[in-house]
Amino acid sequence: MAELNLKQITDKLNEQLQGEIRQIVFWYDDNGAFAEDVDSLTLNNAKILHLEKDNQFYIKYFLECVDTKTHYLVYAPFPKPDIRHNHLEDTLRYSQRFFVDRPSVIVQDLGYDEKLKPVFQQYSKFFDSKERTQKFYDLELNAKEKSDIETGIMSVLCKLKVASFEEVLRVILINGFKENEYIEKFEQYGVLTAFWEQANRNFGYNDTFPSLDKFVFTMFVTYLSKTVYGEIPPAWQPFLAYKFSNNVSVFLDNLMNSTVYGKRFDRLSADVYFGISGDKILRKMQTDEIIDCYLFLGVDEIIIDWLIDRLEHEDIGVKISGKTIPEICENRKRKHFGNQLSHEYNLIESAWYLLSRPPYEEISGIKNIVKKYTETYFETDWHYRYFYYHYDNVVNNEKFENLRQLIENVYTNDYLNKICVNWNREFLAENGETHIQKQTHFFDKHLRYAKERTVVIISDAFRYEVGYSLYRRLSADEKCKVTIEPMQSVLPSYTRLGMGALLPHSTIELNDHCEVLIDGKTCNDMERRQAILQYYKPESRCIQYDTLKHMNTAQLREVFTGQELVYIYHNQIDARGDHSLTENEVFQACEEAVEEIFTLIKRLTSCANTVHFIVTADHGFLYKRDTVSENDKINTVSGVKVFRRYAVSKQKFLADGVANLPLATVLENQDDKIISFPMGSDVFKVSGGGMNFVHGGSSPQEMLIPLIDVRTQRGHKDTTNATIDLISINNKITNLIFSMEFLQREPVSSTVKETLYRIVFVNENGEKVSNEIFHMADNRSPHSVERKSRFTFRLKNRPYHLTEKYYLLIIDDKKNIEIFRKEMRIDIAFADDFGF
């Protein structure tokens, strides 16, 4: 019990026990409610005796024979016995009785109106516990009505620190609606009827035989009625609570978007979806009727199935509510279940872009092909890569199989084969020249005369479109200044020759054993490469990425201190792709490579005092997912050393679909050997597996490698969050459902970061009176009209008073900081779903 409670009891007892004439006061505490507190009472002029049912004769003897002068409080934790069984009845006749009831004490303690005393009497079982009563006191509840006290009791039973029926309901729902422990407690302490009364009063659930599952169904179906445009089926009609639909929507929105309860909401949503046969009923509706429903994961799955069907029929122009397939995907990804299904939606987006591109049209001139590829066509390979990256990350991707086959066919036949043939026809016409910088000139152009430490990161098989992903990632970092351009790799486009070409050299050769010689010396391992590098740049070294990544700061500084040039060899893509067991993981490896190189640059900037980096590759690659058929393999001829995508010999490889080029042209030497390669994307027939991931031949994917120049900044650079403003002029709200328009003030850039905001209406006490809108300010458009967003709000169905203040808040969700507050006038004469 609270101190004030015991003080009142003490004062009252001291009044009865005062005076010179001996006083004996009997206190029969019917339920023993104060048994734990009685010894803590401070009596001024009396002692306490504990009366038990089996010590009445002793107490009588003690009071009348042992101590006949001292004032005594005789406390009994049970009702006064019947006169026939009460051996102290005669003592009682010349003594006093003390009466105290807990309801009266609580009402007085908390300053409540006396009219609430019967409520505490009704729930005496709850208040019999000192611990429960203290927790009720701790709520500091300003109770005016019976329902306020009942809410407090329910809040204590739900282990809440505040009294709120919405919080009570939230705790109950996240624990499931089957065998709910809190409902059992409500029944145990007599507040279950009160719970159903408040469910009716707040959310419109009224049932002769109420149950938690029917209540939950009512909540979800009522919400559905606001977001599903088709007719609500008869089976769901009994669950509708139209008048309270706003309260339901606000409650479920806030529960769904809560960082605390969001995951448990997912389980509840799944149980309801199953319980109301959601999949069976909603699949009968048109997709445009459910496109704005975000309450069930199952709805997303229905929409995904519809999107797959549209793409399989190549219906790329289809729209719903004016939104294209990518816009639908982007919108759904931003909603509650979007994160769980991001791979599915991203896969569909990539498929749409691939199917939307017109068939490849032949381009004249190798310079034009290079320009077109590095400006637009690389995106086809980029989307193909991300299609399979997300496809491989979908847990159950069987439903995408037909779409996958369509994408494979379109990519291979309408794009890859055509661009490869076009490339090689024009490449041969220019005698192996693309008129962009060559890999063999890399050192002379970028490093020979460098005046600052430069770190060169060479990532094996890091083709141009993968490099572009890194370029975009670095460009978004405010501490990086980055450029990208293509560089022509050597041919054959394979590791040893490409790695050798990036080293300083006077001559580069490919001998008869296919060994790469730099200035007449082999360079097939780290030690030999470093020796060549140090011959031209004494203060330099070579090192593997795998060695660096485990080093601490002190070890990193030891590696880089005093060095003018460091070559770092990174091998994530080729290591996975060049093995038949892991070649289908190559696109996962691409994503990891981008992340590893980005992290390495940032780490070396801060830990190794380095600000200039060049990222490039030894070669690119071709990749197709389907098994290479025999028709796509070119038969080999005797006397020619053949690999999957190239052959080297002193004679031409004369066969259909095979091109030949003097090796001397590629390596700029006097070599008399011939390099032969397929004109298309097919391969030579050689033993062994691993035909999906290949390189060595001539194609833009193999020979156009990225040259990414990065300059970083140490220390802090000021950045700001993207901000949003309310641009709707009217500050008077006259309907429970209304829309408002917001503007992202500036586009996201290297110094303006995307930011997640919560937008909500509250009253002057901070209580939410609307649903919360979550908005990611991440628009990069320079045009303000494209950075506008319109959101629909739903106010709770409750009285709104002109004398009460209401505010629109915009809150930085990550920092939980209010960044905008505007007072709004809510003038709704009669609060129902229509606002009139």
pLDDT band at 573 (very low <50, low <70, confident <90, very high): very high
User: Angle 146-157/192-203 helices, nearest 10 degrees?
Assistant: 110
Class of residue 823 by CB neighbours under 10 A (exposed 0-12, middle 13-18, buried 19+):
exposed
Q: What is the pLDDT of residue 829?
A: 63
Q: Which fold has domain 439-626+692-712?
A: Alkaline Phosphatase, subunit A (3.40.720)
pLDDT band at 7 (very low <50, low <70, confident <90, very high): confident
CA distance 469 to 467: 5
CA distance 317 to 323: 10
| Chain-centre distance for alpha carbon 301 | 18
pLDDT band at 188 (very low <50, low <70, confident <90, very high): very high
2 pLDDT more than 70: no
Contact 464, 704 (CB under 8 A): yes
CA distance 440 to 507: 10
- The whole-model pTM stands at 0.83
Q: Which two tokens stand for residue 805?
A: 């203040």
Q: Which helix (H) or strand (E) holds 263?
A: helix 262-275
Tell me which DSSP letter residue 584 carries.
G
Q: What is the pLDDT of residue 686?
A: 87
| Chain-centre distance for alpha carbon 641 | 52
CA geometry: angle 19, 23, 27, nearest 5 deg: 130
Highest mean pLDDT among 85-89, 536-540, 778-782, 783-787: 536-540
Please confirm whether the linkage preceding 79 is cis (ω < 30° from 0).
Answer: no
Q: Indicate the domain borders of the chain.
A: 3-100, 297-419, 439-626+692-712, 720-826
Q: What is the pLDDT of residues 710-729, one digit of tens each?
A: 999 876 556 788 999 888 87
Q: What is the pLDDT of residues 293-336, one digit of tens each?
A: 999 999 999 999 999 999 999 999 999 989 999 999 999 998 99
Q: What is the separation, in whole angstroms, between the first and last Cα of the chain?
A: 48
Q: What is the pLDDT of residue 489?
A: 97
Give 720-826's CATH code, choosing from 3.80.30.20, 1.10.1740.10, 3.40.718.10, 2.60.40.2550.
2.60.40.2550
Contact 831, 770 (CB under 8 A): no
CA distance 170 to 159: 12
Number of H helices, E strands in the chain: 33, 31
Residue type for position 557: R
Q: What is the pLDDT of residues 69-123, one digit of tens each?
A: 999 999 999 988 988 888 899 999 899 988 777 787 788 778 888 789 899 999 9
Residue type for position 170: R
CA distance 667 to 489: 11
CB-hemisphere CA count at 13 Å for 420?
A: 28
Using the structure block, give the residue that is written with the tokens 């659930």: 205
Q: Are strands 658-662 and 674-678 parallel, antiparallel or unpaired?
A: antiparallel
Total Cβ atoms within 10 A of residue 639:
8
Q: Which of 219, 211, 275 is nearest to 250 (CA)?
A: 219
- Stronger pLDDT, 50 or 802, i.e. the higher one: 50
Q: What is the pLDDT of residues 583-617, one digit of tens each?
A: 899 999 999 999 999 999 999 998 988 999 999 99
Q: What is the pLDDT of residue 832?
A: 52
The DSSP secondary structure of 125-185, one letter per residue, reads HHHT-HHHHHHHHHT-----SHHHHHHHHHHHHTT-SS--HHHHHHHHHHT-SSS-HHHHH
Q: What is the pLDDT of residues 407-447, one digit of tens each?
A: 999 999 999 999 999 999 999 999 999 999 999 999 999 99
Q: Which of 644, 636, 648, 635 is nearest to 583 (CA)?
A: 644
CA distance 776 to 779: 8
4 pLDDT more than 80: no
Q: In sequence order, what are the residues at sequence separation of 6 or more whose Cβ sits closer than 8 angstroms to the Cβ of residue 595?
A: none
CA distance 295 to 550: 45
CA distance 658 to 640: 13
Q: What is the pLDDT of residues 445-475, one digit of tens each?
A: 999 999 899 999 999 999 999 999 999 999 9
Q: What is the pLDDT of residues 477-517, one digit of tens each?
A: 888 999 999 999 999 999 999 999 999 999 999 988 889 99
Q: What mean pLDDT do residues 187-208 have? A: 94
560 pLDDT more than 80: yes
